[in-house]
Amino acid sequence: MRRERPLSVRQEAILRLIRSWIIEHGEGPTVRQIGPRVGLSSTSSVAYQLGRLEARGLISRTGRGWKSCHLES
């Protein structure tokens, strides 16, 4: 049985940001909106982290936006 690695601090920050953004704005933030709020200046770095979260089933893409699928903790 394979154990998943825990989320990195940055991944947790992105997940929290997405959740709170959806609550406040009714839709997920863009890659450009996420970057400066979690300390990433490169959009490719943000996209990479989003891809990792999506691969774990914690978020999903809806068209061009992101939504949080896993709302626990």
Q: List the pLDDT tens digit at each of the 73 positions of the chain.
A: 567 789 999 999 999 999 999 899 988 899 999 999 999 999 999 999 999 999 999 998 777 666 655 444 4
Q: Please give the CATH number for the structural domain made up of 9-68.
A: 1.10.10.10
Beta bridge partners of residue 59, listed in sequence order: 68
pTM score, whole prediction: 0.81
Ranges of each domain in the chain = 9-68
Contacts of residue 7, defined as CB under 8 A and 6 or more positions apart, other chains included, come to: 15, 53, 58
| Phi then psi dihedrals of residue 41, to 5 deg | -95, -15
Decide if 37 contacts 17 (C-beta within 8 A): yes
